[in-house]
Amino acid sequence: MSIDGPPAKDVHGPEHPQSVGYTRARKTVFHQDGPPFQLAAGGRLAPVEVEYETYGALNPARDNAVFICHALTGDAHAAGWDEAPDGPLKAFRGKKPGWWDDMVGPGKPIDTRRFFVVCANVLGSCYGTTGPMSLNPATGRPYGLAFPVVTVADWAALGFKLLDHLGVDRLHAAVGGSMGGQQALEMALAQPDRVANLIILSAGFRLGAQGLAFNAVARYSIINDSGFKNGDYYGGPGPLAGLSTARMLAHITYLSEESLGHKFGRRLQGKDKPDFTPVGVEFEVESYLQHQAGSFVARYDANSYLYMTRAVDYYDASTWGDGDLTRAAARLKARSLVASFSSDWLYPPELCRELVSAMCRAGRAVTYVDIPSRYGHDAFLVETETVSRLIRGFLRP
């Protein structure tokens, strides 16, 4: 989340009438028997464990489900307060509500009195769904780099497999921001008859060259850390310096010059004049980035970061139209809402508009909003009031 959001507000506890209350992550396992899960890049996996959370109830028609797709380092805990925090997020989940708690709950924009809400952790992550940290049944040791390459198409396919398991015939909406917006778009393209509405925030049909470059540098910093050990670092500290650098670099792309300038400017950290040294922390912004990196490496796996960023790199929705985005958009049957943010330079407004223009050329129903904001890419998480109005209006009966 951005460093410099709107004025602080009260965080409602689990007893608040608009909270989904205490939640508990659930798990299910697919492909324990029979053929393995076939991945788009050619790999295969078995078994496949999926961690997910649900809020609200499925209606008799089984058509009121909303599937929320999380961002790059997010997880299934979208709303409420974790009843039994466990795993890498144990130190965090019990202290604050889910990452999109402002949006999900009774009377909130994604109203759990009306919708059955599902959020699942994606394949390749380190938050409960099968990934590089999981034990490889062939060796009894963590997969590491033996884990097969995963794609956004695999996340969509596994999402539908989970929805089948939950008895959901058709989604009322697929919703996602950033990487999650790509997954939501892929779900609507892969099975058009099963997605009635589509909401994409801060995401385009593909990542631009600058985004690819930042991800490349992040991965380079990880794999060239002496602690990486070709991905076989489990049982040791791992590539902490490399992962820290990757996180600091990525975090800069989530923000904007205006938000960083407003919060920190060029202020020195705890002193009136510089030390004139090439090492150490001189500026507040340096201290902030180091803090972000430190908290991140305590909860995230470096191998997962490699796999997740590569999946984002590979995604290009135009492949559904053999490289023609308009032809790809013609597959959509969902009514769509696409929102960009003026200061987002990871998925800039012009990239989002390419997708919207293709939808229009294909004759598809789409609403597009470019929201003025100084908060950069993370604005979809920070501009709560504006995003709430958009989603509430779009999902209104």
- The encoded tokens of residue 289 equal 């980035």
Q: What is the pLDDT of residue 11?
A: 60
Residue 363 DSSP code: T
Mean pLDDT of the chain: 94
Share of residues in the chain with pLDDT > 90 (%): 90
Banded model confidence at residue 17, pLDDT cuts 50, 70, 90 = confident
Query: Could you tell me the two tokens for 164?
Result: 């089948």
Count Cα neighbours of 144 within 13 Å in the Cβ-side half-sphere.
16
pLDDT digits over 84-108, tens only?
756 555 555 556 899 999 999 999 9
Q: What is the mean pLDDT of residues 7-11?
A: 46
Query: DSSP state, 234?
Result: T
**Regarding the domain delimited by 22-207+318-395, which CATH topology (the fold level of the hierarchy) does it fall under?**
Rossmann fold (3.40.50)
The DSSP 8-state label assigned to residue 283 in this structure reads B
Residue 16 pLDDT class (50, 70, 90 cuts): confident
Q: Residue 362's CB: how many other CB atoms inside 10 A?
A: 17
Write the DSSP symbol of residue 394. Answer: H
SS3 for 69? Answer: strand
* pLDDT tops 70 at residue 159: yes
**What pLDDT is stored for residue 50 in this prediction?**
98
Mean pLDDT of 179-199: 98
The active-site residue out of 70, 77, 172, 377 is 377
Which has the closest alpha carbon to 38: 205, 141, 150?
Answer: 150
Give the pLDDT confidence score for residue 13 in this predicted structure: 81
- Indicate if 178 belongs to the active site: yes
pLDDT at 8 over 70: no
Measured distance CA(143)–CA(148) in Å, rounded: 9
Q: What is the pLDDT of residue 96?
A: 80
Choice among 178, 221, 318, 336 that is catalytic:
178
Separation between Cα atoms, residue 201 and residue 182, nearest integer Å: 9
pLDDT band at 4 (very low <50, low <70, confident <90, very high): very low
Contact 337, 199 (CB under 8 A): yes
Catalytic position from the list 75, 82, 111, 344: 344
The pLDDT tens digits for 250-295 are 999 999 999 999 999 999 999 999 999 999 999 999 999 999 999 9
Could you give the CA distance from residue 13 to residue 217 in angstroms, rounded to a whole number? 40
3 state SS of 252:
helix
Q: Choose among 285, 264, 307, 283: nearest CA to 73.
A: 307
What per-residue confidence (pLDDT) applies to 95? 67
pLDDT above 90 (res 307): yes
Q: What is the DSSP string of 296-321?
A: HHTT--HHHHHHHHHHHHH-BGGGGG
pLDDT recorded at residue 249? 96
Domain regions of the chain by residue span: 22-207+318-395
The answer, yes or no, to whether residue 374 has pLDDT greater than 70, is yes
Q: What pLDDT, on the 0 to 100 scale, is given for residue 18?
A: 87
**Range with the poorest average pLDDT among 10-24, 138-152, 170-184:** 10-24
pLDDT tens, residue by residue, 42-67: 999 999 999 999 999 999 999 999 99
pLDDT tens by residue, 222-254: 999 999 999 999 999 999 999 999 999 999 999
What is the spatial distance between Cα 286 and Cα 278, in angstroms, rounded to a whole number?
Answer: 13
